[in-house]
Structure 1
Amino acid sequence: MCVSATLEVAGRKSALFEMHKSSLGWQETLAPGQQGKLTVYFDPNFHGREGLGRIWREVRIDSNDPQHPVTIIEFFATVVD
Protein backbone atom coordinates (compact mmCIF):
# COMPACT_ATOMS: atom_id res chain seq x y z
CA MET A 1 0.00 0.00 0.00
CA CYS A 2 1.11 3.55 -0.59
CA VAL A 3 0.13 4.70 2.93
CA SER A 4 0.55 2.86 6.20
CA ALA A 5 0.94 3.89 9.82
CA THR A 6 1.83 2.72 13.31
CA LEU A 7 0.74 4.13 16.65
CA GLU A 8 2.84 3.94 19.80
CA VAL A 9 1.40 4.62 23.24
CA ALA A 10 3.32 4.16 26.50
CA GLY A 11 5.99 2.10 24.74
CA ARG A 12 3.45 -0.25 23.13
CA LYS A 13 3.58 -0.11 19.32
CA SER A 14 0.76 -1.23 17.05
CA ALA A 15 1.07 -3.54 14.11
CA LEU A 16 1.16 -1.79 10.74
CA PHE A 17 -2.15 -0.20 9.76
CA GLU A 18 -2.61 -0.07 5.99
CA MET A 19 -5.00 1.57 3.59
CA HIS A 20 -8.29 -0.39 3.58
CA LYS A 21 -6.98 -2.67 6.35
CA SER A 22 -6.88 -2.03 10.06
CA SER A 23 -4.95 -3.95 12.68
CA LEU A 24 -7.98 -5.66 14.14
CA GLY A 25 -7.61 -6.56 17.76
CA TRP A 26 -5.09 -3.82 18.52
CA GLN A 27 -6.35 -1.18 20.87
CA GLU A 28 -4.85 1.15 23.40
CA THR A 29 -6.28 3.51 25.98
CA LEU A 30 -5.02 7.04 26.33
CA ALA A 31 -5.76 8.88 29.55
CA PRO A 32 -6.85 12.52 29.27
CA GLY A 33 -3.78 14.53 28.29
CA GLN A 34 -1.72 11.43 27.48
CA GLN A 35 0.10 11.45 24.16
CA GLY A 36 1.04 8.85 21.61
CA LYS A 37 3.28 8.80 18.56
CA LEU A 38 1.74 8.30 15.13
CA THR A 39 4.21 7.41 12.39
CA VAL A 40 2.90 7.60 8.82
CA TYR A 41 4.74 5.94 5.95
CA PHE A 42 4.23 6.95 2.31
CA ASP A 43 5.66 4.96 -0.60
CA PRO A 44 5.87 7.38 -3.56
CA ASN A 45 6.74 4.52 -5.94
CA PHE A 46 3.71 2.36 -5.14
CA HIS A 47 1.59 3.64 -8.06
CA GLY A 48 4.47 3.86 -10.53
CA ARG A 49 4.43 6.67 -13.08
CA GLU A 50 0.66 7.07 -12.62
CA GLY A 51 1.40 8.31 -9.10
CA LEU A 52 3.46 11.31 -10.24
CA GLY A 53 2.19 14.79 -9.42
CA ARG A 54 0.26 16.28 -6.54
CA ILE A 55 -1.27 13.76 -4.13
CA TRP A 56 -3.52 13.94 -1.08
CA ARG A 57 -3.72 11.20 1.51
CA GLU A 58 -5.29 10.83 4.93
CA VAL A 59 -4.98 8.69 8.02
CA ARG A 60 -8.19 8.14 9.97
CA ILE A 61 -8.25 7.29 13.66
CA ASP A 62 -11.52 6.03 15.15
CA SER A 63 -12.07 6.51 18.86
CA ASN A 64 -14.68 5.91 21.52
CA ASP A 65 -14.26 9.54 22.67
CA PRO A 66 -17.78 11.00 22.28
CA GLN A 67 -16.39 14.50 21.63
CA HIS A 68 -13.88 13.33 19.00
CA PRO A 69 -15.01 9.97 17.59
CA VAL A 70 -12.94 10.40 14.42
CA THR A 71 -9.65 12.19 13.84
CA ILE A 72 -8.35 12.65 10.31
CA ILE A 73 -4.76 13.59 9.58
CA GLU A 74 -4.24 14.80 6.01
CA PHE A 75 -1.05 15.29 4.08
CA PHE A 76 -0.23 16.56 0.64
CA ALA A 77 2.87 15.97 -1.46
CA THR A 78 4.17 16.37 -4.96
CA VAL A 79 5.66 13.14 -6.28
CA VAL A 80 8.38 13.75 -8.88
CA ASP A 81 10.29 11.44 -11.19
Structure 2
Amino acid sequence: MLLMSRNRRPAGKSQKAGRRGGRKSLLLIAAVSFLALAGIFAVVALRTGPSPTRAQSGPGAADRGAPSGGRPALSVAPSSYDLGQISQARGIVTVEMAVTNTGDGDLEISEMETTCGCTRASLIVDGKTGPWYGMRGHGDWPTGWSARLRPGQRAALRVQYDPDAHGIYRGPVDRTVFIYSNDPQQTRAAVRLIGTQGP
Protein backbone atom coordinates (compact mmCIF):
# COMPACT_ATOMS: atom_id res chain seq x y z
CA MET A 1 0.00 0.00 0.00
CA LEU A 2 2.88 2.25 0.67
CA LEU A 3 4.07 1.75 -2.90
CA MET A 4 0.60 2.49 -4.29
CA SER A 5 0.27 5.71 -2.38
CA ARG A 6 3.70 6.78 -3.61
CA ASN A 7 2.69 5.97 -7.16
CA ARG A 8 -0.56 7.89 -6.86
CA ARG A 9 1.03 11.10 -5.66
CA PRO A 10 3.33 11.54 -8.62
CA ALA A 11 0.44 10.65 -10.94
CA GLY A 12 -1.75 13.31 -9.26
CA LYS A 13 1.00 15.91 -9.56
CA SER A 14 1.46 15.23 -13.26
CA GLN A 15 -2.31 15.61 -13.80
CA LYS A 16 -2.29 18.97 -11.96
CA ALA A 17 0.74 20.09 -13.95
CA GLY A 18 -1.07 19.06 -17.12
CA ARG A 19 -4.15 21.04 -16.08
CA ARG A 20 -2.04 24.12 -15.31
CA GLY A 21 -0.35 23.87 -18.67
CA GLY A 22 -3.74 23.52 -20.36
CA ARG A 23 -5.09 26.58 -18.55
CA LYS A 24 -2.03 28.62 -19.52
CA SER A 25 -2.49 27.58 -23.14
CA LEU A 26 -6.17 28.56 -23.07
CA LEU A 27 -5.36 31.94 -21.52
CA LEU A 28 -2.65 32.55 -24.11
CA ILE A 29 -5.02 31.66 -26.96
CA ALA A 30 -7.74 33.92 -25.51
CA ALA A 31 -5.29 36.84 -25.12
CA VAL A 32 -3.96 36.46 -28.68
CA SER A 33 -7.52 36.24 -30.06
CA PHE A 34 -8.56 39.37 -28.15
CA LEU A 35 -5.55 41.33 -29.43
CA ALA A 36 -6.21 40.17 -32.99
CA LEU A 37 -9.86 41.30 -32.80
CA ALA A 38 -8.86 44.63 -31.27
CA GLY A 39 -6.39 45.13 -34.11
CA ILE A 40 -9.04 44.38 -36.72
CA PHE A 41 -11.49 46.85 -35.13
CA ALA A 42 -8.77 49.52 -34.99
CA VAL A 43 -7.94 49.08 -38.70
CA VAL A 44 -11.63 49.22 -39.68
CA ALA A 45 -12.18 52.33 -37.54
CA LEU A 46 -9.18 54.11 -39.07
CA ARG A 47 -10.21 53.24 -42.63
CA THR A 48 -13.82 54.41 -42.21
CA GLY A 49 -12.92 57.65 -40.41
CA PRO A 50 -14.67 59.20 -37.41
CA SER A 51 -18.19 58.07 -36.64
CA PRO A 52 -20.92 60.54 -37.53
CA THR A 53 -22.21 62.79 -34.79
CA ARG A 54 -25.46 61.84 -33.06
CA ALA A 55 -28.68 62.55 -34.88
CA GLN A 56 -29.58 66.20 -34.71
CA SER A 57 -33.16 67.39 -34.59
CA GLY A 58 -32.61 71.08 -34.03
CA PRO A 59 -32.40 74.06 -36.35
CA GLY A 60 -30.33 73.49 -39.48
CA ALA A 61 -30.13 69.73 -38.91
CA ALA A 62 -30.62 68.89 -42.57
CA ASP A 63 -27.58 70.92 -43.65
CA ARG A 64 -25.18 69.49 -41.14
CA GLY A 65 -22.27 67.26 -41.99
CA ALA A 66 -19.34 66.19 -39.84
CA PRO A 67 -17.76 68.92 -37.68
CA SER A 68 -14.99 70.90 -39.36
CA GLY A 69 -11.54 71.28 -37.90
CA GLY A 70 -10.48 74.56 -36.37
CA ARG A 71 -11.60 76.50 -33.36
CA PRO A 72 -15.16 77.80 -32.91
CA ALA A 73 -15.92 81.16 -31.30
CA LEU A 74 -19.38 82.30 -30.15
CA SER A 75 -20.24 85.98 -30.39
CA VAL A 76 -23.56 87.58 -29.37
CA ALA A 77 -24.41 91.14 -30.36
CA PRO A 78 -25.53 92.88 -28.34
CA SER A 79 -24.42 90.85 -25.33
CA SER A 80 -26.50 93.14 -23.10
CA TYR A 81 -29.94 94.43 -24.06
CA ASP A 82 -31.79 97.30 -22.38
CA LEU A 83 -35.53 96.68 -22.56
CA GLY A 84 -36.16 100.17 -21.19
CA GLN A 85 -39.58 100.80 -19.62
CA ILE A 86 -41.53 97.53 -19.64
CA SER A 87 -45.32 97.92 -19.59
CA GLN A 88 -47.10 95.08 -17.85
CA ALA A 89 -50.30 96.08 -19.67
CA ARG A 90 -48.64 95.49 -23.07
CA GLY A 91 -47.64 91.92 -22.19
CA ILE A 92 -44.70 89.87 -23.41
CA VAL A 93 -41.65 91.69 -24.73
CA THR A 94 -39.73 89.95 -27.55
CA VAL A 95 -36.24 90.92 -28.68
CA GLU A 96 -33.64 89.34 -30.97
CA MET A 97 -29.86 89.34 -30.93
CA ALA A 98 -27.35 88.05 -33.46
CA VAL A 99 -25.37 84.91 -32.59
CA THR A 100 -22.34 84.46 -34.86
CA ASN A 101 -19.60 81.87 -35.13
CA THR A 102 -16.54 84.11 -35.50
CA GLY A 103 -14.11 81.20 -35.32
CA ASP A 104 -12.72 78.87 -37.98
CA GLY A 105 -14.31 75.64 -36.68
CA ASP A 106 -17.94 74.50 -36.42
CA LEU A 107 -19.77 75.91 -33.39
CA GLU A 108 -22.04 73.38 -31.64
CA ILE A 109 -24.71 74.93 -29.41
CA SER A 110 -26.07 72.22 -27.12
CA GLU A 111 -28.65 74.07 -25.01
CA MET A 112 -29.62 77.32 -23.32
CA GLU A 113 -31.18 78.36 -20.02
CA THR A 114 -32.42 81.51 -18.32
CA THR A 115 -32.16 82.76 -14.76
CA CYS A 116 -35.90 83.21 -14.25
CA GLY A 117 -39.17 81.59 -15.26
CA CYS A 118 -40.30 84.94 -16.68
CA THR A 119 -37.72 84.70 -19.47
CA ARG A 120 -37.27 82.19 -22.27
CA ALA A 121 -34.97 81.89 -25.29
CA SER A 122 -34.93 80.14 -28.65
CA LEU A 123 -32.35 79.98 -31.45
CA ILE A 124 -33.29 80.45 -35.10
CA VAL A 125 -30.82 78.85 -37.55
CA ASP A 126 -31.37 78.87 -41.32
CA GLY A 127 -34.99 79.93 -40.79
CA LYS A 128 -35.75 77.03 -38.43
CA THR A 129 -36.79 77.88 -34.87
CA GLY A 130 -35.46 75.69 -32.09
CA PRO A 131 -37.28 74.85 -28.84
CA TRP A 132 -37.86 77.36 -26.09
CA TYR A 133 -35.48 77.18 -23.13
CA GLY A 134 -36.41 78.72 -19.82
CA MET A 135 -35.28 78.40 -16.24
CA ARG A 136 -33.97 74.92 -15.48
CA GLY A 137 -36.42 72.96 -13.32
CA HIS A 138 -39.45 75.02 -14.37
CA GLY A 139 -41.64 73.18 -16.87
CA ASP A 140 -40.67 70.81 -19.66
CA TRP A 141 -37.00 70.76 -20.68
CA PRO A 142 -36.07 70.26 -24.34
CA THR A 143 -33.89 67.21 -24.98
CA GLY A 144 -32.06 65.96 -28.05
CA TRP A 145 -31.71 69.41 -29.59
CA SER A 146 -28.54 71.08 -30.76
CA ALA A 147 -27.54 73.54 -33.47
CA ARG A 148 -24.39 73.87 -35.54
CA LEU A 149 -23.08 77.13 -36.95
CA ARG A 150 -20.39 76.95 -39.61
CA PRO A 151 -17.54 79.48 -39.49
CA GLY A 152 -18.99 82.92 -40.22
CA GLN A 153 -22.61 81.72 -39.99
CA ARG A 154 -25.12 83.84 -38.10
CA ALA A 155 -28.27 82.84 -36.20
CA ALA A 156 -30.89 84.81 -34.28
CA LEU A 157 -31.35 84.49 -30.53
CA ARG A 158 -35.00 85.27 -29.75
CA VAL A 159 -35.69 86.15 -26.11
CA GLN A 160 -39.06 86.79 -24.48
CA TYR A 161 -39.73 88.47 -21.14
CA ASP A 162 -43.19 88.01 -19.59
CA PRO A 163 -43.99 90.87 -17.17
CA ASP A 164 -47.04 88.98 -15.82
CA ALA A 165 -44.87 86.14 -14.48
CA HIS A 166 -44.33 87.94 -11.15
CA GLY A 167 -47.79 89.38 -10.60
CA ILE A 168 -47.97 93.09 -9.89
CA TYR A 169 -44.24 93.78 -9.80
CA ARG A 170 -42.80 97.27 -10.21
CA GLY A 171 -39.09 97.93 -10.39
CA PRO A 172 -35.82 96.89 -12.01
CA VAL A 173 -35.50 93.76 -14.15
CA ASP A 174 -32.15 91.98 -14.59
CA ARG A 175 -32.19 88.59 -16.33
CA THR A 176 -29.55 86.43 -18.03
CA VAL A 177 -29.69 83.90 -20.86
CA PHE A 178 -26.89 81.32 -20.91
CA ILE A 179 -25.84 79.67 -24.17
CA TYR A 180 -23.84 76.43 -23.90
CA SER A 181 -21.47 75.56 -26.73
CA ASN A 182 -18.15 74.01 -27.68
CA ASP A 183 -16.38 77.40 -27.78
CA PRO A 184 -13.18 76.61 -25.83
CA GLN A 185 -12.91 80.19 -24.55
CA GLN A 186 -16.45 80.33 -23.15
CA THR A 187 -18.44 77.12 -22.95
CA ARG A 188 -21.21 79.17 -21.31
CA ALA A 189 -21.85 82.57 -22.86
CA ALA A 190 -24.07 85.05 -21.03
CA VAL A 191 -26.57 87.49 -22.55
CA ARG A 192 -28.02 90.05 -20.15
CA LEU A 193 -31.41 91.77 -20.29
CA ILE A 194 -32.19 94.76 -18.12
CA GLY A 195 -35.12 97.14 -17.83
CA THR A 196 -37.70 98.65 -15.49
CA GLN A 197 -41.15 97.16 -15.13
CA GLY A 198 -44.15 99.39 -14.68
CA PRO A 199 -47.95 99.26 -15.03
- TM-score, normalised on structure 2? 0.38
Structure 1 unaligned residues grouped into runs of 5+:
none
Distance 1:12 1:66 in 2: 26
1:18-46 CA-partner distances (Å, limit 9, x unpaired): 11155221101111111100000000111
Task: State the partner residue of 2:193.
Answer: 75
Structure 1 stretch displaced more, 54-63 or 9-18: 9-18
> Aligned partner of 1:53: which letter?
G
- Given candidates 129, 138, 143, the residue that maps to 1:13 is 129
- Dislocated runs of 4+, deviation >4 Å: none
Within a 5 Å distance, the mapping from 1:1-81 to structure 2 comes to: 1-20=117-136, 22-49=141-168, 51-81=169-199
| Distance apart, 1:11 and its partner CA | 2.0
Structure 1 stretch displaced more, 66-75 or 38-47: 66-75
- TM-score, normalised on structure 1? 0.88
| Structure ranking higher in helix proportion | 2
Paired positions, count: 80
Distance 1:9 1:77 in 2: 27
Secondary structure, counterpart of 1:45 in structure 2: helix
Secondary structure, counterpart of 2:154 in structure 1: coil
Distance 1:43 1:64 in 2: 30
| Structure ranking higher in strand proportion | 1
Q: State the superposition RMSD in angstroms.
A: 1.4
| Distance apart, 1:16 and its partner CA | 1.0
Distance 1:75 1:33 in 2: 25
Sequence identity, in percent?
A: 35
Structure 2 unaligned residues grouped into runs of 5+:
1-116
Structure 1 stretch displaced more, 66-75 or 53-62: 66-75
Distance 1:23 1:43 in 2: 20
